[in-house]
């Protein structure tokens, strides 16, 4: 399940994305892992753009999945794209 909302500001664009995932196995009931991401992309020209994003949420990693442990996480992304 993903819901996104975006707003343009001149050559820039803010995007907020909420993602939710469900999971289950034989030992655990259904779990829900939410994630929220805020991203800003600036289109400097037709040939280049810069993006920075921040994500926060809950996840279960494979190492501790059997114990059903959930962890908070924070992630920062940045990217530069050039086309020619």
Q: Cβ-count burial of 62 within 10 angstroms (0-12 exposed, 13-18 middle, 19+ buried)?
A: exposed
pLDDT of residue 2: 66
Answer yes or no: is pLDDT of 61 > 60.
no
Tell the CATH topology of 2-82: Outer membrane efflux proteins (OEP) (2.20.200)
pLDDT in tens, 24-49: 666 666 667 778 888 888 887 778 88
| Alpha carbon distance 84, 53 (integer Å) | 24
What is the pTM (predicted TM-score) of this model? 0.55
| Alpha carbon distance 69, 61 (integer Å) | 8
| Alpha carbon distance 55, 79 (integer Å) | 14
């Amino acid at each position: 399940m993903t819901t996104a909302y975006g707003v343009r500001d001149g050559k820039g664009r803010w995007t907020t994305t909420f993602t939710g995932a469900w999971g289950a196995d034989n030992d655990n009931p259904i779990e829900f892992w939410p994630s929220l991401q805020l991203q800003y992309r600036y289109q400097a020209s037709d040939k280049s753009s810069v993006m920075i994003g921040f994500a926060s949420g809950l996840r279960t990693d494979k190492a501790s999945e059997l114990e059903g442990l959930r962890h908070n996480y924070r992630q920062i992304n940045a990217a530069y794209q050039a086309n020619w």
